[in-house]
Amino acid sequence: MKKLVSLAALTALLGACTTGTNNNTGGGYGTDGFGEETLITTADSQTLNNAYLLAAAPKYYIGSAYKVEDVQYIPVEDMTYNQTGVAGIIPAELNGTKTSNGETFDVNQMVATSKTLPLPTIARVTNLDNGQSVVVRVNNRGPFVNTRIMDLSPAAARQIGMNGQAKIQIQVLPEQSMQVKNATIGASTPVQTVTETVTVTETVTTPTPAAPVASGDYSVQLAALYSEDSANAMAARMRTYGNAVVVKEGDLYKVRIVGLNAAQARSVIDSLRSNEGMAPGLLQNGRWINADSI
């Protein structure tokens, strides 16, 4: 059993980060909706809520492969993630909007977006121009341009002295990320244990009719993961939508609902979008097609 870092330890780590002072400069907004935010330094300092970073989320969201300007991105659970690139700042006017995993964006919290990391994930972000760092909770997809790998909340940007785009390093904190994942999964599935204990047969067989046509031409892909255990766990959880299986292709374990006809595939895609916040992919006879083409 993994030893999880305590909240106190994370607090100590956060305390080591320094706060930068920003100059008030203007910046344009990108077409992705996550453009550059003009930061205004005030005398009021925001109190970081450390408990928020490790709190359970409404759901643990990974999602399926997607493209941005013809570049494909595959969301995966990667606890060794360590990359450098350019970051921007999430516009303050998005305060109060919903994130991809069902949280509410708060400009005063240390949060960020990522194209591929699971939501939520805990990561350390370092401004490579000044060496200042901040620990953030990654809780939303984006930025949807290929020139940036992350966007930070205005509060997190101030913490590392950003007043526009900056070159950063992102390092996933694996133990803290597992802690928030376990808290989220545990909080979001309390009823399953009771259901399985009461009527195991009915619970397992009830969702089976959702995919009665085993020879259907369509498959809906939910995610592509490096972890086989995570893929199997997701497949088990997604069997309420149909015949969810794990297909190994190269180093990835792909979770798919298979054996669907066109009507069933359309229904599954719509349900996954509305209930799980996913952006599933669609295959017909093993070939990728537009998920909205049926």
Instruction: List the one residue out of 85, 177, 66, 72 whose CA is nearest residue 125.
Output: 85
Residue 73's pLDDT is: 92
Residue 69: predicted pLDDT: 86
Residues 6+ apart with CB under 8 A from 120: 57, 60, 101, 103, 137, 138, 139, 177, 180, 181, 184
Query: Structure tokens of 258?
Result: 């298979």
Per-position DSSP letters for 265-290, written without gaps between them: HHHHHHHIIIII----EEEETTEEE-
Q: How far apart, in whole angstroms, are the C-alpha atoms of residue 81 and residue 180?
A: 16
What is the model's pLDDT at position 224? 76
Domains 7-39+55-180 and 210-289 in one fold: no
pLDDT at 188 (0 to 100): 55
Q: How far apart are CA 246 and CA 174, in angstroms?
A: 24
Task: State the fold for domain 7-39+55-180.
Answer: Barwin-like endoglucanases (2.40.40)
| Series of mean pLDDT values for 10-residue runs along the chain (294 residues) | 44 44 33 34 37 90 90 90 95 94 94 96 95 95 94 96 95 93 75 32 38 68 80 88 90 87 92 78 86 82
Which of the following CATH numbers is that of domain 210-289: 3.30.70.1070, 3.90.1300.10, 3.30.2350.10, 3.30.70.890? 3.30.70.1070
- Domain limits, the chain: 7-39+55-180, 210-289
Q: How far apart are CA 123 and CA 175, in angstroms?
A: 10
